[in-house]
A and B are shown apart, each in its own frame.
Chain A
Amino acid sequence: MTAAPRAAAPASGTVLQIKGLVKEYAAGKPVLKGIDVAVPAEGITAIIGPSGTGKSTLIRCINRLVEPTSGSITLHGAELTGLRGRELRLARRRIGMVFQEYNLVERLTVMENVLSGRLGYVPLWRAWLRKYPEEDIQRAFMLLDAVGLPEHATRRADALSGGQRQRVGIARALMQRPEILLADEPTSSLDPRTAVEVLELLTRLTAAEGVPVIINIHNVDLAKRYARRIIGMSGGSVIFDGPPEELEQHHLRAIYGGEDWL
């Protein structure tokens, strides 16, 4: 596995550092009010919080699908904000992403969707003609085996069920050999059982590849079960930041407000 060189990096270190991150969609109305987070180089970091609190915006600021207003984001010490053009694309290919609604290209086959994770690496002609290097194709097959879809390579993505699509989404993200994986509500569109299966898979595969994960998640129980670290957000600010064991009722009350739901 070529994940090996990165595994040499200090396991206890910080892979992603966010400092003073502010995002305003409309001037004067910040969605993110100065976020400071350090993401460890191992395991799953879960972001929990009520809907509309800016979790998704935070994740999208990291790979710049959303443009942050101010603040700093560094990946392995390299600044991500302010990157443009080619440099931004080179940074993006180091960051995998899994989406809430899978965002597979519906009319392409499963294999093409998985291989599209290599788009940041292969030259244009290979991408257009689907002439990927043999190594990439073999890895794509291995990933499809790993996510449990070995027979689906030539099926079209829109023929798959939700759980299957998210598995393809995970394979696509890992195909990038990312240094970090962003997961934006990866289980919210799935039924409870499939959600657990997908999370299980995500945890297992990212651990095997040594890829740290930042995950937005609604379900606090799942977050506690799979994450090594939990970040609680409310109203655009970080309210809790610590291991799951330390997350207590009064924290949840502060994060979600009220207590009827508990």
Chain B
Amino acid sequence: MSATTSQTRRLAFAPNWAMRAALLVLAAYTIWASSRLGLTWDRVAHGMGEGGRLLARMVPPNFERWQLLLEGMLESLQIAVLASAIGILISLPLGVLAARNLSPIWVAGPVRAVIAVCRSLHYVIVAILFVKAIGFGALAGTAALVVASVGFIAKLFAEAIEEISMKQVEAIRATGANVMKVLAYAVVPQVSSRFIGFCLYQLDSNLRNSTLVGIVGAGGIGGTLFAAFKRFDYDFVAAILLAIIALIFLAEIISGRVRAALR
């Protein structure tokens, strides 16, 4: 904008100076931070060449060791199923205890804090801790994904319960029903379909994550993948990646179908 005329000149488009300044700062930051992290143009150009060579070594994918692949995938599936089942079982009571409309605040507060901690830690970090504490293998991976599942669905359960109509709860209480019967008749009917949706979603994401925890030694296909990377077996890497993507796709389609059928 040239400021040749007086300040009262009318502008067709009011310039948003704050936004422009923010964009400028962002651009400056990008350049500065890139140089700080050693991201120079040379390096990127060199990397592109490397990337091309890597891709070339990945095709064609090598499915010769399909038994190893299948074993790993099955273990991932087992981890996902177990972690989802245990995670859901733990989350059901935790969700009720964390719902502020059903539990007293001195119960809901601490339970919410536990759930928040479970959610804040990345599942791979949790997996590493479990691997160090209880050893390599599927047990550590299952435990890590149980923690992640609790952090995620217990929170969603609690939120769903907090949104129910308390009038129905009041009516069931007035019949002389105890806590468990109130849950069965006034709470569960109001939240069950949403709960099933959350559980399916969690199974889906546990399946994704279970293909990964093996990278830190917690069982599943991730371990095979990491080993193949370390041995520069890039054609086997490609085969594993394709298998993982296919599994995730399949799971997404199935859970999408089931969710549509429930509606």
A229 at the interface (CB under 8 A from B): no
**For the complex, what is the distance from the CA of A241 to the CA of B243, rounded to whole Å?**
80
**Does A11 sit within 8 A of B, measured CB to CB?**
no
Chain A residues with Cβ below 8 Å from B192 are 107
Task: Say yes or no: A116 contacts B172, CB within 8 Å.
Answer: yes
A residues contacting the other copy or chain, number (CB 8 A): 32
A104 / chain B contacts, CB cutoff of 8 Å: 168, 171
A119-B175, A127-B181 are known; give 6 further A-B pairs, CB within 8 A: A89-B176, A91-B176, A116-B172, A116-B177, A128-B184, A176-B176
Cβ A105 vs Cβ B178 within 8 A? no
B178 to A, closest residue via Cβ: A89
Q: What distance in Å separates the Cβ of A136 from its nearest Cβ neighbour in chain B?
A: 13
**A–B pairs, 22, beta carbons within 8 Å:** A65-B174, A86-B178, A89-B177, A93-B176, A101-B167, A103-B168, A103-B170, A104-B168, A105-B172, A105-B185, A105-B190, A106-B165, A107-B192, A108-B185, A112-B185, A116-B172, A116-B177, A120-B175, A120-B177, A121-B176, A127-B177, A128-B184
Q: Distance in Å from the Cβ of A238 to the closest Cβ of chain B? A: 24
Contacts of A112 in B (CB 8 A): 185
- Shortest Cβ distance from B183 into chain A, in angstroms? 9
A97 at the interface (CB under 8 A from B): yes
Count of A-B contacts judged by CB separation below 8 Å:
78
Q: Complex Cα distance A89/B185, Å?
A: 16
Complex interface residues of chain B between 186 and 200 (CB less than 8 A to chain A): 186, 189-190, 192
Q: Is A172 an interface residue (CB 8 A)?
A: yes
Q: How far is the CA of A90 from the CA of B175 in the complex (A)?
A: 9
CA distance A120 to B181 in the complex (A): 9
- Once the chains bind, are B168 and A97 in contact (CB under 8 Å)? no
Q: Nearest chain B CB to A89's CB is how many angstroms away?
A: 4
